[in-house]
């Protein structure tokens, strides 16, 4: 009989939670009403703002997907170091 090596699965997740409270602003769905002129309501369906240019330039404020200004997109503040838990927003 050999020496019994009981390898305990080391589950020592010694992650020190040094949370930096970094808030990042993200821009979600485009909420621009394209039918406002005719008294209706129609959005272009853009789901997330994508800058069409580099940060700091004027193009960075325009959405590459729907060409609307960033201010039409829903502004959302999120924590930068979030884990992969689904955040439910009402």
Contact positions vs Zn ion (CB under 5 A):
30, 32, 44, 46, 66, 68
Q: How far is the CB of 48 from Zn ion (least distance, A)?
A: 11
Closer by beta carbon to Zn ion, 45 or else 79: 45
Closer by beta carbon to Zn ion, 76 or else 79: 76
Closer by beta carbon to Zn ion, 27 or else 66: 66
* Tokens at 31, concatenated: 């909420």
Contact in structure between 53 and 60 (CB atoms under 8 Å): yes
How far, in Å, CA of 78 to CA of 63, rounded? 20
For residue 37, the 8-state DSSP code is G
Contact in structure between 89 and 75 (CB atoms under 8 Å): no
Q: How far is the CB of 66 from Zn ion (least distance, A)?
A: 3
How far, in Å, CA of 69 to CA of 76, rounded? 16
Q: How far is the CB of 69 from Zn ion (least distance, A)?
A: 8
């Amino acid at each position: 009989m050999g020496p019994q090596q009981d390898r305990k699965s080391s589950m020592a997740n010694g992650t020190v939670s040094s949370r930096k409270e970094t808030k990042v602003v993200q821009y979600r769905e485009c909420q621009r009403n394209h039918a406002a002129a005719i008294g209706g309501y129609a959005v272009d369906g853009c789901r997330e703002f994508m800058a069409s240019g580099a940060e700091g330039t004027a193009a960075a404020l325009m959405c590459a997907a729907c060409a609307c200004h960033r201010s039409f997109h829903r502004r959302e503040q999120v924590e930068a170091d979030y884990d992969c838990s689904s955040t439910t927003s009402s």
